Amino acid sequence: MTIALGIDTGGTYTDAVLVDEGTGQVLHSAKALTTRWDLSVGIGKAIAAVLSQGGVAASRVSLVALSTTLATNAIVEGQGSPVCLILIGYDRDLMREFGFEGALVTPDVVYVRGGHDAIGDEVEPLDEQAVREAVASRIGRVAAFAVSGYFAARNPAHELRARAIIEETTARHSDDGRPLPVTCGHELSVRLNAVRRATTAALNARLIPLLQDLISTVQRTLAEQGISAPLMVVKGDGSLVRADWAILRPVETILSGPAASAVGAWHLAGRRDVWVVDVGGTTTDIAALRGGHPRLNPEGARVGQWQTMVEAVDVRTTGLGGDSLVRLDGERRLLIGPGRVVPLCLLASDHPDVVAELERQAAQGGDEPWVGQFALLQRRPVNALADEERSLLRSLADGPRPVTALLREGGYPLVALRRLERLEALGLVARAGFTPTDALHVLGRFRRWDARASVVGAGLLAARLGCAAEAFCERVVAAVSEKVARELVTKVLADEGVAADWTMPALDALFARSVGDGNGSSLNCRLGLREPIVAIGAPAAAYMPAVADMLHTDLIIPDHADVANAVGAVAGGVVQTWRVMVQPLPGGEAFRVHLPGEVRDFPTVEDAVAYAERTVPAELAAAVRRAGAADVDVHIAREDRVAMAQAGWGHEVYLCTELTFTAAGRPSPAR
Amino acid sequence: MADILQKIATKLYEGEDKEVAELVQQALDSGLTPKEILQDGLIAGMDQVGKDFKAGDLFVPEVLIAARAMHAGMNVLRPLLSASDSPTVGKYVIGTVKGDLHDIGKNLVKMMLEGAGFETVDLGTDVAPEAFVQAVREHKPRIVGMSALLTTTMVNMKSTIDALNEAGLRESVKIMVGGAPVTAAFAQQIGADAYAPDAATAVDVARKLA
């Protein structure tokens, strides 16, 4: 029996599972807290836990697959190494006038002459000297290069030449003779939009050193545990690639968590056409699974402020989860999320004296928004801090303290609050407060931590609403379910090309009448979701049955739903897709095929297609084997784009032929 | 007073360019504002031309002559119209695509658009995709219109859209296509926003897109 080890680093937990590769059965699972500042710490703990718990010999593990939020988080938080972006044949004035320079990720941008046109003809020769000089002046100052050429999606010749120059120059100047990594735009997308290809290439280059660090740390951890199996990484489309390949294409790992969860849902539930709802601690992610594959976003994934051209799972993420902060606003309206905190019950199981403090606050009364909240130290600062910030950190050295006390000591409460929020943003301090997880503890539907703190915390908020703690908790749970249902409807509409504007009173009222008791309305509204919901994530069972009722559909909560992402990591195949286009040249006398590495002309469309079908499959199969696949299958899809001319104007008009080559295989056990 | 505006509209419809110019001058002398003359005289007349052309009561040569009369009137008014007076609906870049020298239809659309209050930028005929990109960059229009009269040059409409996509400008403009052999299905295939079968419809479509 061979065993696969799946690992997922989520916002709150890092999960590890052992899966029997033959039967697909989940053998063991374990969780450790995600260590955001160094993901490998949490990964190491989760691996050690799952191995020791299962008593499984490390030598039996034949495959390790990792889905990681590293790339997504690094992009959102603006981390990464300094890189130089070389743009070939771009119109600098146009880039500036339309504000496109702000999309280039790095401030270090070099414009050089060159580039092609829509049919792949050279507009101007590449200014090789300019490339050489740009590279030479950046030796020792950048960690990687990104290259993007105008219309390189139609002819990559200048990008490839620029890469050769960069590799040759940087290798000559490096101690070990190895060149710096170079990312070319055409390798990441062959779609048109020179600005977005540049964004994608620059993001990719910037992430390479980060992912490289993580991969080598994980590989060391695996070696320490005695695991010699190959390490693979989940891409944003749910498929796998070998770690050494992923290091060169880190941007393709964005959204790998949601993609793995959709694949895991398919694997565990055995259903191919469903809505996958992953309720986590920090966020709720919704994705469509169609035909057993996560539906991808054809526009390219948007991460943080960047619109990339990475075809990743089309996921809708909301800041709503079991650990979302529950609070009341000035008008005593119930607010949940988007901020994530430490649940009171979890805090109290490590620090029992917070219960007494909560009781003291309850006796005292008070309606500041932060009543019942605590701050606790997370880790030592590495950056310089202001004196006030340092003293705030010092005051937390002996354990968590109520936010009310910190704000009293900090001078003006709002200034002190902002100080606290800054330390939270730096990851030095965490907030604790009442959460949906606490509500479940009060209601007895979930018992892992200290429910006493949850009960008192619920009482604090309930008193301000003038209701009992249990009734308040029911309201919180129902509100989470309703919010998830609303997000699901928003997602369905978005996939159908409609933006749901919930600020429209009619829309909001119809939805409320549909999911609620109708408010005594004469309208009988009913929303029905055609496909079933597969719910995964630890708290799914608490919130999702009500969601399925509201939307009148079936709910599947598979076994091991709490570790579906880690299961999804090992359930994916190795898949690579290449797109090839044939288009007519002016005059219609010849046809040009745009291949991944070259362009070639033929007298007829069929000759061009035949050439592509003869040469591409072998090259693609070789590439997908390098990406870690065995038993490779290549599939070709052909679409001829033809439109009829107006009647009386003769024949049809041939526009182009698009060939999509997809190679898929199972992960190879070979290292 | 209203008589003279009615007269301008009628003479414009009849294509009497010299008379239209004279009437516009008379209207100005009698104290009418340039804006009134434009709106209730010239544009009113051109609107009727568009309606009758669409209905098949007028043909291309008549429309061209009416458009010439419109221009004659505009030449008198233009120096007097302040920026706020000119009721510009939006900027419209128009041209016949690369390899194609036909311009009658394109000119017709352009004149009708001007009659409807669009500010047009005419790139002429045989316009390369890069020239469309440069025009969008320079003029930042609301709409780009392309014309092709040959099945062999229709494909250059796609090349032009490709070029706008590559430049990152596709989302900043709406694209309309037209010309005798062009169809709605073709427009959809190449990713244009709209198709219009004739000049009068082009104006309606442009108004919706603007």
Last residue of a domain, one of A415, A444, A462: A462
A662 with A639, same domain: the answer is yes
Q: Supply the CATH number for residue A303's domain.
A: 3.30.420
Q: In this predicted model, what pLDDT tens digit does every residue of A174-233 receive, in sequence order?
A: 888 899 999 999 999 999 999 999 999 999 999 998 899 889 989 999 998 899 999 999
| DSSP secondary structure letter of residue B168 | T
A10 with A60, same domain: the answer is yes
Put simply, the answer to whether A653 touches B186 (Cβ < 8 Å) is: yes
Whole-number Å distance between alpha carbons of B184 and B178: 9
A358 with A447, same domain: the answer is yes
Give the residue on B whose Cα is nearest the Cα of A643. Answer: B186
Task: Report the domain count for chain A.
Answer: 5
Whole-number Å distance between alpha carbons of A160 and A164: 6
Q: How far is A585 from chain B, CA to nearest CA, in Å?
A: 10
Instruction: Give how far Cα A242 sits from Cα of A62, A75, A211, A551, Å.
Output: 13, 22, 13, 40
Here the ipTM equals: 0.79
Chain B contact for A588, CB < 8 A? yes
A550 with A562, same domain: the answer is yes
Counting every residue, how long is chain B?
210
A458 with A470, same domain: the answer is no
Share of chain A above pLDDT 70, in %: 99
Q: Supply the CATH number for residue A7's domain.
A: 3.30.420.40
What pLDDT score was predicted for residue B86? 57
Put simply, the answer to whether A650 touches B151 (Cβ < 8 Å) is: yes
Identify which of A194, A588, A650 has the shortest CB distance to residue B166: A194
Mean pLDDT value of segment A241-267: 92
What pLDDT score was predicted for residue A79? 77
Domain map (residue ranges) of chain B: 2-80, 91-209
Q: Which residues of A touch B170 (CB under 8 A)?
A: 193
A327 with A360, same domain: the answer is no
A276 with A205, same domain: the answer is no
Q: For all residues of chain A together, what is the average pLDDT?
A: 90
Last residue of a domain, one of A516, A547, A570: A570
Q: Which residues of B touch A100 (CB under 8 A)?
A: 168
Put simply, the answer to whether A97 touches B137 (Cβ < 8 Å) is: yes
- Establish whether domains B2-80 and B91-209 are of one fold: no
Put simply, the answer to whether A91 touches B154 (Cβ < 8 Å) is: no
Q: Which CATH class is domain B91-209?
A: alpha beta
| DSSP secondary structure letter of residue A180 | P
Whole-number Å distance between alpha carbons of A199 and A185: 9
**Residue A478: pLDDT over 70:** yes
**What topology does CATH give the domain B2-80?**
1.10.1240
Q: In this predicted model, what pLDDT tens digit does every residue of A362-405 receive, in sequence order?
A: 888 777 888 899 999 887 776 678 888 888 888 898 899 999 88
Domain that holds residue A299: 260-340+463-570
Q: Which residues of B touch A117 (CB under 8 A)?
A: 129-130, 163
Paired with A288 in beta bridges are A275
A513 with A525, same domain: the answer is yes
A135 with A230, same domain: the answer is yes
A456 with A596, same domain: the answer is no
pLDDT band at A335 (very low <50, low <70, confident <90, very high): very high
Q: What are the helix (H) ranges across chain B?
A: 2-14, 17-29, 34-37, 44-55, 60-77, 104-115, 129-139, 151-166, 184-189, 199-209
A437 with A503, same domain: the answer is no
Last residue of a domain, one of A462, A495, A514: A462
Chain B contact for A471, CB < 8 A? no
